[in-house]
Structure 1
Amino acid sequence: MIPYGKQDINQQDIAAVIAVLQSDFLTQGPQVPLFEAALMQHTGAEHAVVCNSATSALHLACLALELGTGDWLWTTPITFVASANCGLYCGAQVDLVDIDPATYNLCPKALEQKLIIAKAQNKLPKVVVPVHLCGQSCDMVAIHALSLQYGFKIIEDAAHAIGGEYQGKPIGGGDYSDITIFSFHPVKIVTTAEGGAALTNQQALADKMALLRSHGITRDKALMGPVAGFDMDGQGDWYYQQVALGFNYRMTELQAALGVSQMQRLTQFVVERRRLALRYNQLLADLPLTLPVQLGQTNSAWHLYVVGLQLEEGGFFQKKQLSKKLVFSQLRTLGIGVHVHYIPVHTQPYYQAMGFTVGDYPVAESYYQQALSLPLFHGMTDVQQDEVVAALHDVLVDHELESSVRRTGI
């Protein structure tokens, strides 16, 4: 099976992790700040707080922005559910904004129309979470302009986008947002096995996230206060205080060391992904597929390569009696690990129980009916990519599954 995505681990990565295993620190040692420094150096952000997952980082970001009961968080329906769940963790209400039909990112025009209505209803969002789907930045200039007009904070969900660029600058620099989130899951561009990070240019937000990342505990005397009936003068260097209700969202030294090593190859990872994406564009040009659209001011990191099956009424797929389900299953049978990113958030049973219904976000639903993620990962060979393309030709055009199975030996 050619997977849709996979990690790329080399001997340098392995050696970095082994060195930590042989060191004095497996957690809360020197590797975590080194990894944070590497992220800041790459993006230009002033602060980085690494965590055990991007979901944890999203939660911390919401808490740092003081999202809570009575507030609203808005995001896109085409994302992993964590982009919306982070608002629920804080007791806030969640709403969604439909996507741009070309880029599949949160649509600024739809956002503006929804904001106009929300202002009239006194239901403006406190936080908006645009998601850089597949690694391409949203239109952050437009979204940021709306934030200034309507007073909301911005968390960029850049889980797909480390190594990508917007307006010639690395995604994560924070020019148009309060906090940016990265993910280091194994299928992401850089991996720490599991992990995430929150980047910001605001010291207060960084301090709050760092505090909440580790139980709300501090040894900083400036943050401590007196304790009634307790001899503060008698406390030594061992002393700490819990000054907030935090979490154990820390990243281990093992994860951070792997991240430090992986960051040294980030440019190499992204350059190769872009080469493969361009090659897909060329090889798939004659198939009945909608290929990814890239905006002029963006340079995608290409975490995913998503095509659209052109399923319009009376079109190619109906004439061939092909459905998305059939195409997906036949490609899987041929050893092509296609996937779908994502099932719209508002169609999930948990969100349906909150009042969302099918039909709420028609552009997102249309995208989902057509979307198919093709294999794309660092280390993918041209031969493997040719196999993916050949299988697509067989299933979509020739529609000869049995001959394809014989030809590939699967």
Structure 2
Amino acid sequence: MIPYGRQDITEADLAAVRDVLTSDFITQGPAIAGFEEALAGYCGVRHGVAMNSATSALHVAYMALGLGQGDLLWTSPNTFVATSNAALYCGAEVDFVDIDPDTYNMCLDSLEAKLEAAEKAGRLPKVVTPVHFAGQSCDMARLGALRDRYGFAVVEDASHAVGGSYGGAPVGNCAHSDITIFSFHPVKIITTAEGGMAMTNDDELAAKMAMLRTHGITRDPARMRGEGDGPWYYQQTMLGYNYRITDMQAALGRSQLTRLDSYIDARHARRAVYDRELADLPLKLPYQAEYQHSGLHLYPVLVTDAAPVDRATAFARLREMGIGVNVLYIPVYLQPWYQDLGFRPGHCPNAEDYYRRMITIPMYATLGADDQQTVIDRLRDVFGG
């Protein structure tokens, strides 16, 4: 089976992890800070706060922004459930903004109209979380202008987009947002096995997130209440969680980071082949907005009405042929848990139409030419051409 995504682990990665395993620290040691500083430097942002998953990073980001009971968060329905679940963990309510039919990201025309209506109703969101789907950044300058006008905070869910850029600057620099979240799951662009990181230019948000990932504990005298008892002393000043990443994971991530640009280049080389070789099939190929350079986590194709088979049939046949296609994502609000919250089909028509048609085909940096040609040949077998 040729998978839709795959990690790349090299001897350098193994050596980095071995070095940690034979050191004095395998968790809560210097490798974590090293990874945070390296990725923050790459992105051109002041702080990186590494955690054990992007879900944890989203939760902590929302908490640091004060999201809680009675507050509202808006996000895209075309995402993994974690993006909105993390807001529910905070006691907030969530709603969804339909997607753009070309980029599959949050439609900013729809967002602007929804904000105008919400302002009149006196129910504006506290946080808006755009999702950089498949690695393609939302139009963050326009979103940032809406943030300034309506007063909400912005958390970029860039789980798909590390290594991508917007307006010539790296995704994660937080020029138009408060916090950006990356994921390092094995099918993502770089991996720490499981892991995530929150990026921010705000010193106070960074300090809060660092405490929240470690039980709400601080050893900084400036953040304690009263005098400490000695150099061993710490205080818990908020209710936090154990969301820590290990030094082993951080060492792997820092090693992977040295190849990030080459991974992005390799993905774009494979995209160019797909764009050329699949152009005559009854599929809608991914659109790329000029204002950004995608991380290309995914290569989603949409089955058009001209296709000889529907998506379900195509999916089954491709799997039978050894092509590990996937479908990402089911609109979040169609999940039973969200249906119980009152959401119903029809809430975001573009997202639902996208879901009915989409298949994501193999895309990863080490996808070989022979395997990619096999993917193309099998797509031709299914769709003609």
TM-score scaled by length of structure 2: 0.99
Aligned position for 1:141: 141
Aligned position for 1:386: 373
How does 1:250-265 map onto structure 2 within 5 Å? 250-265=244-259
- Alpha-carbon offset, residue 342 of structure 1: 0.3
Residue aligned with 2:182, SS? strand
Aligned position for 1:225: 225
Structure 2 CA distance for aligned equivalents of residues 168 and 217 of structure 1: 38
Aligned position for 2:341: 354
Aligned position for 2:117: 117
- Verify: 1:77 aligned to 2:64, yes or no: no
- Alpha-carbon offset, residue 2 of structure 1: 0.1
- Alpha-carbon offset, residue 323 of structure 1: 1.7
- Alpha-carbon offset, residue 116 of structure 1: 1.0
Aligned position for 1:102: 102
Structure 1 CA distance for aligned equivalents of residues 286 and 383 of structure 2: 18
Structure 1 CA distance for aligned equivalents of residues 221 and 258 of structure 2: 36
1:274 to 261, 268, 283: 268
Q: Deviations over 1:373-393 (max 9, x none)?
A: 000111111111100010011
Q: Deviations over 1:106-137 (max 9, x none)?
A: 01000011111111111100000000000000
Structure 2 CA distance for aligned equivalents of residues 103 and 209 of structure 1: 31
Aligned position for 1:402: none
Residue aligned with 1:222, SS? helix
Aligned position for 2:313: 326
Structure 1 CA distance for aligned equivalents of residues 248 and 150 of structure 2: 42
- Verify: 1:370 aligned to 2:357, yes or no: yes
Structure 1 CA distance for aligned equivalents of residues 16 and 167 of structure 2: 34
How does 1:50-61 map onto structure 2 within 5 Å? 50-61=50-61
Q: Deviations over 1:147-168 (max 9, x none)?
A: 1111100000000000001000
Structure 2 CA distance for aligned equivalents of residues 186 and 296 of structure 1: 28
Amino acid at match of 1:283: E
Extract unaligned runs of 5+ from structure 2: none
Aligned position for 1:309: 303
Residue aligned with 1:181, SS? strand
Runs of 4+ in 1 over 3 A off after TM superposition: none
Residue aligned with 1:117, SS? helix
Q: Deviations over 1:321-343 (max 9, x none)?
A: x2211100100000000001100
Among all aligned residue pairs of Structure 1 and Structure 2, give the percentage whose two residues are the same amino acid: 54
Amino acid at match of 1:308: L
Amino acid at match of 1:250: R
Residue aligned with 1:119, SS? helix
Structure 2 CA distance for aligned equivalents of residues 392 and 224 of structure 1: 61
Greater Rg, structure 1 or structure 2?
A: 1
Amino acid at match of 1:32: I
Aligned position for 2:242: 248
- Alpha-carbon offset, residue 224 of structure 1: 1.2
- Alpha-carbon offset, residue 236 of structure 1: 2.2
Amino acid at match of 1:259: G
How does 1:150-161 map onto structure 2 within 5 Å? 150-161=150-161
How does 1:167-206 map onto structure 2 within 5 Å? 167-206=167-206
TM-score scaled by length of structure 1: 0.93
Residue aligned with 2:8, SS? coil
- Verify: 1:339 aligned to 2:339, yes or no: no
Structure 2 CA distance for aligned equivalents of residues 285 and 143 of structure 1: 32
Residue-pair matches, total: 385
Structure 1 CA distance for aligned equivalents of residues 43 and 240 of structure 2: 27
Structure 1 CA distance for aligned equivalents of residues 240 and 230 of structure 2: 23
Extract unaligned runs of 5+ from structure 1: 227-231, 399-410
